[in-house]
Structures are given as structure tokens and as C-alpha cells.
């Protein structure tokens, strides 16, 4: 029988690994190749039993049970379970009254679904730059982008760190706009105890199998603060005939996984804190910044590179990043880019064909949509100087593995001459955002 069970344990790593030759140079990898795999989601007997119970129930009843359980967990007033994260964002926008031709302000750094949901609502995404510390939507830049056609601001809790919703709420109140959260990375994330998804006027969240809180396959959920917005979204579904219903199988799996979500959250928080503290002992690397009162859910963990602190500031930063990525991957830590081009540089927004013949972009009288990449210098700089650990930290990985991750980064930090050699030996490497755009 084929199994995901990991048969071989990872040995408890020791500090002397830092002194070993880099794996890229032929030395022993911190994490041997045959024990690098991590598994998520974890499937237990509770999941199997829940499926047996749910299969005997009406499918709509199972979905409603899940929807209400998770709505209460988040603390939202109203919710609609959906087939995907993108559909939940679409409903969140429609619910707050976004109409064809309206403008919705979104960050330039996110997954493409954020902006595609705006287009699905037949509105125009207006991209703004991000904060250089948190990587969330910059409220100062958001205010500069507001026009008479702006209907909503949709920040993204990118990687699981909530955006600055207090500052953005002041903007939406000042200009009579709606605040919509893209909480697709932010399961259990919070600001001063208030859970992401329950803070804005509405929110959309992905629940796909690869997220911190997975349902069985693909799924999402839209949250609403006001009954009027919730009913507007329901009316849209009824009038349009669009089938955004969540599968009962997805909901059943979500019910049992919800019971373990606090445990997963606690393990991720513990591991992230350990890694951040370890990176603080290096010169080249640093972990995510988390403001006071904010809870980061660590759907992803972004590592910032500071080449100047290691005497590598005479080298092109994106080449240093590429060299570090090769070295850290060889040690068994799969750190990668997660986006190489700001979203306005992806083809749907470069070409603006929309649903055909340019719709809904043709509803705008703009000559300049502001999609040129040089308008997002903070995003471009962040892409040049950071790497991301994704699914490897979502699973409740064992203590020895997070220790090994930390030692791998320390091992790279102890070998700046190898980084330099790799860069100086380099080929015709293009800057990330001059390459073809990739999703994720």
C-alpha cells in the first residue's frame, strides 16, 4: 500500500553542523534528502469518523453545520460557504455593493486571485505598493490611489500577518468606502484578539487543502458584518445562477480539522518563534516582524536578506538571493520565491482583455491604470531580497526539524565567501520581475 507515513526519523541536529562543508560544496546536508518530506494536512481517525457520520446526512446540512461552526470560531456575524477562495472574495465584494466599473484598491503583492476576484465583480483593481516592514498594503499609498470611482479597499493579510486595518478603517470612514479583507492566508490570525475575517465589512478566505486550515480539497468562505451585505450576496447568487456551493465532503473534512486548528496554530507559532530567534543570531537573515497585539498565523514564513551586514553589498542583491536559495535548498530547506512579479505585471492585467474586448476595463475612462512595475518599488525590493518557506512550516513539524532549519541558515551565514563565489561565477541571471510571471 502506498503511504505518506514517514518511516525514517530525522536525527536531532547539533551545532557542529554549522562548521561542516556546505552541502552545495559536497559536505553533509543539515537535513538528509531522504527525510526532507513533510505532510499536511494530517488525517486521523476523527476525519474518517466524521466522514462516516456526514455521509448519512443531507449534504446541505453538513455544509451549514461547518459554516456555522467556523463562523462562530472567527466571530463573524454572517457567512456563506463557497467552492473556493476566489469565489468567496467575489461574494465579499458583491456583498458590500461593488458594482461594474467601480475601483477597488488592492496590494501589488498578493496572489493573483485577489485581483481576479475584483475583475469577477466587473470592477477595476487599482494596485498600490506595500509597507516595507510588514509587506501588507500601505495605507499612505492607498489614500493616494482613492478617486471618485473607488468603492472599496481590499487589503491582504499576506502570509498570515493581518494588514493595518485600523489605519485602513480610518480611510474608509473618511472617504465613505467599504473595507474588505482578503484573509486567505490568515486563519486564526488576529489583531488585539479580534480574528481576521471578522474585522472588515466583509471578508473572503480560501480553505483549500494546502492552507493552514484545510477542507477536503477546494473550498472557501465569505464573512459579512452587516445583514444587508450578507443578503445582497445571497441575492446575487440567486439572481445570477452561479453555483458557488461548497461540497459536503469538503465541509465534513473541515468540521474535524477545525477541532485541531488551535493545535496546528500553536505548533506553527512555536516553530516560527524559534526560527525568528535563531535568525536574529545571524547577520544575513531576519524573520518576519509582528506588531504588538498582532497574531501572525504563518501560512508562509518570509526570510529577509541583508547582504550589506555580511559584507556582500557590492554584489547585486538578487544574485545574492539566488545564490542563497541554491545553498539553503542543498541543505534540505526548501526556501523559494513565492511570486516573482507584482500582480499588475501578470498577463491578465498587462493585457486587460477581461471577459472579452477589454471588459470590465472598458468601463473605466482611465488612460493610465497605473500597472507599470516601476510604480511599486517597495514590492520590487522585497522580491529581490527575501525568500519564503511555505508548506514546510504549516504541518506540525517536530522540534528537531525546526532546529535543523535554523542551523541550515546559520551554516549559510557562516560561509559568505561561498555566496560570493557563486555570485561571481554566475550566468546571465535576470532580475526576478524581468522573467515570465509565475503564480506562487
CATH for 15-41+262-339+381-434, options being 3.30.390.10, 3.90.1150.10, 3.40.50.1370, 3.40.50.300? 3.90.1150.10
Averaged confidence pLDDT in the chain = 95
Give percent above pLDDT 90 in the chain.
Answer: 88
Locus of grid cell 535543523: 404
Using alpha carbons, list the distances in angstroms from residue 363 to 92, 93, 105, 124, 207. 21, 17, 16, 9, 32
| Of 427 and 56, more confident | 56
User: HSE on the CB side for 123, CA within 13 Å?
Assistant: 29
Q: Taking 90 as the threshold, does the pLDDT of residue 150 lie above it?
A: yes
- C-alpha cell read off for 392: 514546510
Average pLDDT, stretch 47-74? 96
Taking alpha carbons only, the member of 133, 178, 180, 125 closest to residue 151 is: 178
- pLDDT range class, residue 42, cuts 50, 70, 90: confident
Choosing among 3.30.750.24, 3.40.640.10, 1.10.340.30, 3.10.580.10, the CATH entry for 45-255 is 3.40.640.10
Closest CA to 107 of 37, 158, 44: 158
pLDDT, tens only, 405-427: 999 999 999 999 999 999 999 77
Q: Is the pLDDT of residue 8 over 80?
A: yes
Residue 1 has pLDDT above 60, yes or no: no
Q: What is the pLDDT of residue 422?
A: 96
Cell of 46: 476523527
Q: Which tens digits make up the pLDDT trace of 169-224? A: 999 999 999 999 999 999 999 999 999 999 999 999 999 988 999 898 899 999 99
Q: Is there a common fold for 15-41+262-339+381-434 and 45-255? A: no
**C-alpha grid cell, residue 185:** 492566508
C-alpha to C-alpha distance for 150 and 98, rounded to whole angstroms: 9
C-alpha dist (Å) from residue 273 to 131, 276, 280, 297, 385: 22, 5, 11, 12, 21
pLDDT in the model for residue 147: 98
| Grid cell digits, residue 7 | 518511516
Q: Report whether pLDDT(2) > 70.
A: no
Q: Where are the domains of the chain?
A: 15-41+262-339+381-434, 45-255
Q: How far from chain centre, in Å, is Cα 377?
A: 20
Strand partners, 289: none
Q: What is the pLDDT of residue 37?
A: 87
For the stretch 354-380, pLDDT in tens is 999 999 999 999 999 999 999 999 999
> Three-class SS string for the chain?
CCCCCCCCCCCCCCHHHHHCCCHHHCCCCCCCHHHCCCCCCCCCHHHHHHHHHHCCCCHHHHHHHHHHHHHHHHCCCEEEEECCHHHHHHHHHHHCCCCCCCEEEEECCCCHHHHHHHHHCCCEEEEECECCCCCCECHHHHHHHCCCCEEEECCECHHHCCCCHHHHHHHHHHHCCEEEEECCCCCCCEECCEECCCCCCEEEEECCCCCCCCCCCCCEEEEECCHHHHHHHHHHHHHHCCCCCCCHHHHHHHHHHHHHHHHHHHHHHHHHHHHHHHHCCCCCEECCCCCCCEECCCCCEEEEECHHHHCCCCCCHHHHHHHHHHHHHHCCCCEECCCCCCHHHCHHHHHCCCCCCCCCHHHCCCCCCCCCHHHCHHHHHHHHCEEEECHHHCCCCCHHHHHHHHHHHHHHHCCHHHHHHHHHCCCCCCCHHHCCCCCC
Mean pLDDT across the stretch 235-262? Answer: 96
pTM (2 decimals)?
0.96
pLDDT greater than 90 at residue 391: no
Amino acid at each position: 500500500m502506498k503511504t505518506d507515513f514517514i518511516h525514517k526519523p530525522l536525527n536531532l541536529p547539533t551545532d557542529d553542523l554549522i562548521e561542516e562543508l556546505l552541502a552545495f560544496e559536497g559536505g553533509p546536508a543539515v537535513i538528509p534528502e531522504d527525510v526532507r518530506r513533510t505532510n499536511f494536512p494530517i488525517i486521523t481517525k476523527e476525519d474518517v469518523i466524521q466522514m462516516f457520520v456526514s455521509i448519512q446526512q443531507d449534504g446541505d446540512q453538513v455544509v451549514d453545520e461547518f459554516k456555522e461552526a467556523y463562523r462562530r470560531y472567527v466571530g463573524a456575524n454572517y457567512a456563506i460557504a463557497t467552492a473556493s477562495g476566489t469565489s468567496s472574495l467575489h461574494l465579499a465584494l458583491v456583498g458590500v455593493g461593488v458594482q461594474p466599473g467601480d475601483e477597488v484598491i488592492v496590494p501589488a503583492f498578493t496572489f493573483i486571485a485577489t485581483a481576479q476576484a475584483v475583475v469577477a465583480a466587473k470592477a477595476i483593481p487599482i494596485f498600490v505598493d506595500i509597507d516595507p516592514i510588514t509587506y501588507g498594503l500601505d495605507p499612505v499609498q492607498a489614500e493616494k490611489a482613492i478617486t471618485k470611482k473607488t468603492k472599496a479597499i481590499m487589503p491582504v493579510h499576506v502570509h498570515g500577518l493581518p494588514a493595518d486595518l485600523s489605519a485602513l478603517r480610518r480611510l474608509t470612514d473618511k472617504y465613505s468606502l467599504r473595507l474588505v479583507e482578503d484573509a486567505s492566508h490568515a486563519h486564526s490570525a488576529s489583531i488585539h484578539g479580534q480574528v481576521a475575517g471578522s474585522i472588515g465589512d466583509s471578508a473572503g478566505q480560501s480553505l483549500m487543502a494546502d492552507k493552514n486550515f484545510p477542507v477536503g480539497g477546494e473550498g472557501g468562505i465569505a464573512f459579512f458584518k452587516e445583514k444587508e451585505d450578507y443578503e445582497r450576496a445571497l441575492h446575487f447568487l440567486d439572481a445570477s445562477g452561479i453555483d458557488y456551493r461548497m461540497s459536503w465532503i469538503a465541509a465534513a473534512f473541515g468540521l474535524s480539522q477545525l477541532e485541531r486548528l488551535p493545535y496546528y496554530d500553536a505548533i506553527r507559532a512555536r516553530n516560527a518563534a524559534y526560527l525568528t530567534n535563531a535568525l536574529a543570531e545571524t547577520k544575513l537573515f531576519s524573520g518576519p516582524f509582528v506588531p504588538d497585539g498582532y497574531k501572525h498565523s504563518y501560512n508562509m514564513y518570509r526570510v529577509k536578506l541583508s547582504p550589506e551586514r555580511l559584507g556582500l553589498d557590492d554584489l547585486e542583491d538578487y544574485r545574492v538571493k539566488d545564490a542563497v536559495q541554491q545553498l539553503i535548498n542543498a541543505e534540505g530547506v526548501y526556501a523559494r520565491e513565492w511570486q516573482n512579479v507584482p500582480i499588475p505585471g501578470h498577463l491578465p492585467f498587462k493585457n486587460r482583455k477581461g471577459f472579452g474586448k477589454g471588459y470590465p476595463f472598458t468601463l473605466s475612462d482611465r488612460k493610465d491604470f497605473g500597472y507599470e512595475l516601476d510604480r511599486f518599488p517597495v514590492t520590487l525590493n522585497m522580491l529581490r531580497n527575501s525568500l519564503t518557506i511555505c508548506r514546510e512550516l504549516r504541518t506540525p513539524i517536530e522540534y528537531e526539524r525546526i532546529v535543523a532549519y535554523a542551523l541550515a541558515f546559520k551554516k549559510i551565514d557562516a560561509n559568505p565567501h561561498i555566496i560570493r563565489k557563486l555570485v561571481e561565477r554566475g550566468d546571465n541571471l535576470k532580475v526576478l520581475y524581468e522573467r515570465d510571471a509565475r503564480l506562487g
